[in-house]
Amino acid sequence: MGLSDISLAAGMYKNLLALNDTSVKINRTQERLATGKKVNSALDNPTNYFTSQAHLNRAEDLNSRKDGMSEAIRNGDAANAGLTAITSLIDSAKGLANSAHSASAGDRAILAAQFNGLLVQIDTLAGDSGYRGTNLLKNDNLTINFDENGSSNLTINGVDATSGSLGISKTDSPSSQQQVSFISTGYTSLALKSDGSVVAWGDNSYGQTNVPAAAQSGVVAVASGGWHELALKDNGSVIAWGAPWGDNSTVPAAAKSGVVAVAAGYEFSLALKSDGSVVAWGDNTSGQTTVPAAAQSGVVAISAGRYFSLALKSDGSVVAWGDNSSGETTIPLAAQSGVVAIAAGDQHALALKNDGTLVSWGYSGYGLASIPLAAQSSVVAIDAGGGDSLALKNDGTVVAWGDNSYGQATVPSGLLSGNSSGASLSWSTDAGIKTSEKQLETAMNTLRVNFSALSSSLSVIAIRQDFTQQIISTLQTGSDNLTLADMNEEGANMLMLQTRQSLSVTSLSLSSQALQSVLKLFT
CATH number of 159's domain: 1.20.1330.10
Asked if the structure places residue 358 within a domain, the reply is yes
- My answer on whether 331 and 360 are in the same domain is yes
Q: Whole-angstrom distance between the N-terminal and C-terminal Cα of the chain? A: 27
Asked if the structure places residue 392 within a domain, the reply is no
pLDDT tens by residue, 396-406: 677 888 877 76
Residue with the bigger pLDDT between 231 and 22: it is 231
Residue with the bigger pLDDT between 249 and 42: it is 42
Beta strand 308-313 with 299-304: parallel, antiparallel or unpaired?
antiparallel
For residue 9, pLDDT over 80 is answered with no
- Non-local (6+) Cβ contacts of 480 within 8 A are none
- My answer on whether 237 and 354 are in the same domain is yes
Q: Which residues of 457-489 are buried (b: 16+ CB within 10 A; e: fewer)?
A: bbeebeebbeebeeebeebeebbeebbbbeeee
- My answer on whether 116 and 19 are in the same domain is no
- My answer on whether 62 and 157 are in the same domain is yes
- My answer on whether 205 and 305 are in the same domain is yes
58-62, 458-462, 479-483: lowest mean pLDDT where? Answer: 479-483
For residue 413, pLDDT over 80 is answered with no
For residue 420, pLDDT over 50 is answered with no
For residue 422, pLDDT over 80 is answered with no
pLDDT tens by residue, 425-462: 667 767 778 878 888 888 888 888 888 888 888 899 98
Rounded to an integer, what distance in angstroms lies between the CA atom of residue 62 and that of residue 470? 10
Region 472-493: mean pLDDT is 81
- My answer on whether 63 and 100 are in the same domain is yes
Decide if 145 contacts 153 (C-beta within 8 A): yes
Asked if the structure places residue 213 within a domain, the reply is yes
Q: In whole numbers, what is the pLDDT of the chain averaged over residues?
A: 81
Best mean pLDDT range from 102-106, 298-302, 488-492? 298-302
Residue with the bigger pLDDT between 394 and 237: it is 237
For residue 145, pLDDT over 80 is answered with yes
Crossing angle for the helix pair 46-101 and 105-127, to the nearest 10 degrees:
170
Decide if 430 contacts 196 (C-beta within 8 A): yes
- My answer on whether 194 and 338 are in the same domain is yes
- My answer on whether 217 and 332 are in the same domain is yes
Asked if the structure places residue 25 within a domain, the reply is yes
Rounded to an integer, what distance in angstroms lies between the CA atom of residue 303 and that of residue 287? 15
- My answer on whether 130 and 211 are in the same domain is no
Confidence of residue 421 (pLDDT cuts 50, 70, 90): very low
pLDDT tens by residue, 318-335: 999 999 999 999 999 988
CATH code of residue 294 = 2.130.10.30
Asked if the structure places residue 369 within a domain, the reply is no
- My answer on whether 120 and 13 are in the same domain is no
| pLDDT value of residue 330 | 93
Rounded to an integer, what distance in angstroms lies between the CA atom of residue 293 and that of residue 298? 11
For residue 72, pLDDT over 70 is answered with yes
Overall domain count for the chain: 3
Asked if the structure places residue 407 within a domain, the reply is no
- My answer on whether 52 and 158 are in the same domain is yes
Best mean pLDDT range from 90-99, 213-222, 362-371, 504-513? 90-99
Confidence of residue 202 (pLDDT cuts 50, 70, 90): confident
DSSP string, 427-475: -SSHHHHHHHHHHHHHHHHHHHHHHHHHHHHHHHHHHHHHHHHHHHHHH
Residue with the bigger pLDDT between 93 and 484: it is 93
Asked if the structure places residue 498 within a domain, the reply is yes
Region 62-77: mean pLDDT is 88
For residue 511, pLDDT over 60 is answered with yes
Q: Structural domain of residue 272, as residue ranges?
A: 177-364+417-428
Asked if the structure places residue 412 within a domain, the reply is no
- My answer on whether 219 and 274 are in the same domain is yes
pTM: 0.53
Express as a percent the part of the chain with pLDDT over 70.
Answer: 84
Its sign, for the CA torsion 240, 242, 246, 250, is positive
